[in-house]
Structure 1
Amino acid sequence: MPALTFLDREHTIAPLGYSRWLIPPAALAIHLCIGQAYATSVYKDALVKHFDSSLTAIGLIFSIAIVMLGLSAAIFGTWVDRVGPRKTMFASACCWSSGFLVAAAGIATEQLWLVYLGYGFIGGIGLGLGYISPVSTLIKWFPDRPGLATGMAIMGFGGGAMVAAPLSRELLARFGGAAAGGDAVMKLFITLGIAYFIVMMLGVFTVRVPAPGWKPDGFDPKSIAAKPMVTTANVSAANAIKTPQFWLLWVVLLCNVTAGIGILEQAADMIQDFFRNGDGVSTVSVSVAAGFVGLLSVANMAGRFVWSSTSDYLGRKPTYMMYLGVGMAAYLTLALIGSNATALFVILCVIIISFYGGGFATVPAYLRDLFGTFQVGAIHGRLLTAWSTAGVLGPLIVNRVLDAQGEPGHLMARDYRPALFIMVGVLAVGFCANLLVRPVAARWHEKQPVTDAADGAAPPAAVRT
């Protein structure tokens, strides 16, 4: 369509004088919107009551969305590199927003399968496309600081709930009062679907790709060769999945995400259950619990930026040893004495979720170190199938354990311990997998110099750094 030619890759190549620091806001416009997925706990109980269903059945909405995130990222990864970020981000905005509207229709008609289709399937495709499109673009703009780049790209996804949780709570109160039910959630979904489309389009119009041959002032590509575990060669997406390094990182990401996602999805209820007195009444109010969700969102977002940026100095492998090793200690402490004091509980959860977020933001830079920049977006998309798997495993483990322990609203700290001990074991598996990661063998490297498909076809342009 002629009206959509502005989405074509040739129209996204940065002009002379374009600053690379305009790209992070474009990425944030997308990731802050799709990061709403982390705020599902705010209205989860209302959907349980509306559909007269279980926590496991409602949690499946989130799991389907995460599964589709990974699958769409894997399937469309090479397409993203070929067509460029603008067209991909536009497709993401359409899927994510229409997913809310279809889910709202499902709530209005009391058809849970429509919510699965809308928010889960269609919205999940929007999640996957929106998640990977800014990441590979920022890596190309910041070859001198890939950890910083991926942290900037992905921190918005972790911070999405920081905006969505209080916004959703306020809108639910306006639409349904103190006892907001399914009708209020339906109106919330319609409002969010429209608002998110508008915000995401700001990112679509802003994003650019660097011209072929561009590099930051003063950057010498040869300087990265002196760092261990970093290659100057390139590996294609087709060959990357044949290497043991890819599958070891797949396991690392799977374990890190599984351990964090179940707790994050349960956050609002978890803090109330951990501090329930002998009479079965929680000493933590609903508003405080919602604030805790927002705090974890800040930790998620901050971890993505701080820990990923730190990995530029520590190295990717040592950084993951910290995520997984310290994470095991934090989960064990949470299970044994986390209910002794609210401050201790909050600190442990903040550490865990910051590592969870950091793991997401650091893995694209880890992939770039091992496989080069040639098709890092497509490789990243394939790796996100680990997130899809974790999106099922994490909530399923926690929700199954809690469903077996008792009814929602009557659970206590001890009911969470079996799930927390399982997470310690999951992190131990990831720790061992990370120890086994080594540089990729030269036989997998591209034999001829390659041209980065996402860089476009224009001559080099001078761009401000």
Structure 2
Amino acid sequence: MTAAMFMSSNNNSTANLHHEASAQPTKRANFFVRALLRHFGDAEYVRTPEQIQRERTFFGFEFKPWFIVPFCVLTQFCCGSMYSWSIYNQPIDQLIYGDPQADMAPTTFYITVGSFGFTSAILGPWLERNAPRLSLSIGTTLFFLGNLITALGLHLRLIALVYIGYGLVGGAGIGSSYVVTVSVVTKWFPSSRGFASGMAVCGFGAGSIAFAKIPPTFMNIIGLARTFAIMGTVYFVVMMLCAQVMRLPPPGHNINGLIIDSARTNPKNPDHPYETEVVDDRPTIRISLIQALTSRDFWLLYFVFMANQLFGLVVISRLSNMTQSLFRINANTAATIVSIDGGFNLFGRIFFATISDLIGRKVTFGLMLGAQCIVLGFFPGTIEHHTEWAYLLISWVGTSCYGGGFSVIPAFLSDMFGPNNISACHGLILTAWSIAAIGGGVLFTTLYDYHTAQNLSPSAVYASNIWWIFGVACGGFFLIFFIRSLLRDRLFPAVPGQIFRLRIFGRTVRAVRANGFTIEILTREQEDNEWEEYLMLCIIKLRLVKNETYAQAPF
């Protein structure tokens, strides 16, 4: 009997054998270690048959997958208001300090970003274990309370309450709501996760554009404090209504033969070198959350995502100031450029997410990072030579890649580690975004201040500050080749003396130190034979364990 036959009949057994490697709390472990392992243990939302039956309908109609999309987009639209924080900076500084250039209010945004990322990481497993309706309701309530506390802080003219309200509490609410909606929409559309997550997160980008225009009108009429109270109430009502629609697909839900409650991943096209894995309707090898979060591939993807986001977070957030300083244009023209930049952000979220369903997530990330490496290499030259059209083109390409990374990463994680682990994995990887925003922003500002003190021209100051971002992008592009996006590659056994193994253009290449240093390029047949031998060994080991357990059982 071949391993392929074993695979079709005993995949669940192999899955269980692999699953035993997951870390579990033990009685000997420290209390905090046990709590940590329990929190990040297998995350699965268990529903009663009655709950499942109730969620099959929506106001008397059969619930369709596409029902979920507009409500996820609307939730993300409200969350995207955080990107418009810059419009509040000068009014808040003027209100509290009497100086619009006090530069204290911008700190709120960095606190919000940090709270967003780290709350998503901490609450990710909990969100996965509970109903999405409850999770989104809690996130909405936190966002509402954050706006109310901010309004109180502005009324009392205490910047600390603004930091706590919008920064800590509001950021936690935005992060929770963001992760829940992305997790839900990717589970409803297993055959087009990239496009589905792209549509959802494009609402986040659209919110940043819309809410940059709406609040100023309220501020001029009713003041800052009341603006936050009213806007917070609007967010609360809209997001609470959206929460009532949130639900997970019923067990066994499938679209075109693809089942969502499966962690199994297989290539769509075996001949494609980097084709993204998709779930199918065969028995599966499940990956526990602990296995996912402790895998080498997760942390490689973590740094790749951070590298992809850095340019957008650090440079594009300063686009208006940079453009006015370098090319001496007025504020209205700069605002128009920033609005166009927001359009490219939306375009990147939809475009790269959609093509990732066709060419694979790994290839898509390679394209985005490769494009950033190329344009960043030319960026200092365009700044120093004051080539405005090239400067804008590079900025907009970078923004498109930034938006694309946000939309592709949920589908990438779901493909690699299974839809049941998406909330926790996505929440943790968003801390890379927070670190890039805070750490990158501090480093950029420090270097900017240092070079400015040297009496360098604005073009020289900005040009010299680009090179470290270019280096990080190149590092991310290099690391993408070491991510084993296919489940088969991650489980493929190492041979004695193996140093490393890569998949290049669909072929497995490995370096082996045995009787000298050699590079081996496996044929399809060699790879299949080694994989089948591995599966057979797994099944034999599992049967031996089961037989031993059966023999020792008391009767």
TM-score normalised per structure 1: 0.82
Match of 2:319 in 1: 267
Q: Give 1:256's aligned residue.
A: 308
Superposition deviation, residue 425 in structure 1:
1.4
Give 1:297 shift.
2.3
For 1:317 and 1:90, how far apart are their aligned partners in 2?
A: 34
Deviates more, 1:383-392 or 1:187-196: 187-196
Cα shift at 1:12: 7.0
Amino acid at match of 1:122: V
In the TM superposition, residue 371 of structure 1 has moved relative to its aligned partner by 1.2
State the match for 1:5 in structure 2.
Answer: none
Q: Where do 5+ consecutive residues of structure 2 fail to align?
A: 1-49, 270-274, 280-284, 494-537, 540-555
Q: Partners of 1:98 and 1:411 in 2: how far apart?
A: 45
Whole-angstrom distance in 2 between the partners of 1:223 and 1:368: 9
Counterpart code for 1:236: S
Q: Which runs of 4+ in 1 moved over 6 A?
A: 53-56, 220-223
Q: How does 1:181-260 map to 2 (within 5 A)?
A: 184-217=223-256, 219=258, 224-227=266-269, 228-230=275-277, 232=279, 233-260=285-312
Q: CA deviation at 1:60?
A: 2.6
- 2:149 match: 102
Higher Cα radius of gyration:
2
Say which SS state the counterpart of residue 42 (structure 1) adopts.
helix
Structure 2 contact 113–434 (Cα < 8 Å) conserved = yes
Determine helix, strand or coil for the equivalent of 2:254: coil
Contact 1:275 1:413 in 2 (8 A): no
- 3-state DSSP of counterpart to 1:207: coil
Which of 101, 108, 120 does residue 167 from structure 2 map onto?
A: 120
The structure-2 alpha-carbon separation of the partners of 1:351 and 1:187, relative to structure 1 and needing over 3 Å to count, comes to: farther
Q: Does structure 2 conserve the Cα–Cα contact (< 8 Å) formed by 1:224 and 1:231?
A: yes
* Aligned residue number for residue 55 of structure 2: 13
Q: How far did 1:126 drift?
A: 0.7
Give the distance between the partners of 1:411 and 1:255, measured in 2 at CA.
Answer: 28
Choose between structure 1 and 2: higher strand proportion.
2
- How far has the Cα of 1:374 moved from its partner? 2.3
Contact conserved, 1:146 with 1:312, CA < 8 A, in 2?
A: yes
**Residues 409-449 of structure 1: CA deviation (Å, up to 9, x unaligned):** x98443322332221112112112212101353399xx99x
Give the 5 Å matches for 1:124-135.
124-135=171-182
Change (3 A) 1:44 1:329: farther
Is 1:36 the counterpart of 2:75? The answer is: no
* 1:55 Cα deviation from its structure 2 partner: 7.8
CA distance in 2, matches of 1:255, 1:237: 24
In 2 relative to 1, CA 231–314 (structure 1 residues): closer, same or farther, beyond 3 Å?
A: closer
Counterpart residue number, 1:346: 392
Separation in 2, partners of 1:293, 1:11: 47
TM-score, normalised relative to structure 2: 0.70
Q: How many residues align?
A: 422
Aligned letter for 2:347? Answer: A
Q: Are the aligned partners of 2:252 and 2:259 in contact in 1 as well (CA < 8 Å)? A: no
Distance 1:341 1:216, change over 3 A: same
What residue in structure 1 maps to residue 336 of structure 2? 291
Q: Distance in 1 between matches of 2:342 and 2:439?
A: 21
Change (3 A) 1:24 1:419: farther
Equivalence for 1:111: 158
Q: Does 1:393 align with 2:439?
A: yes
Q: Which residue of the partner structure matches residue 360 of structure 1?
A: 406
> Aligned-pair distance for 1:174?
4.2
Query: Could you report, residue by residue, the CA deviation over 1:140-183 in whole angstroms, capped at 9, with x for unpaired residues?
Result: 111111111111221111222111111134334445xxxxxxxx
Contact kept, 8 Å, 2:124 with 2:428, in 1: the verdict is yes
**Inter-partner Cα distance in structure 2 for 1:169 and 1:146:** 36
Conserved? CA contact 2:265–2:415, under 8 Å = no
Confirm or deny: 8 A CA contact 2:78 2:207 kept in the other structure. yes
Aligned partners of 1:42, 1:399: CA distance in 2, in Å? 20
Maintained 8 Å contact 2:325/2:458: yes
Report if aligned partners of 1:254, 1:386 keep a CA contact under 8 Å in 2. Answer: yes
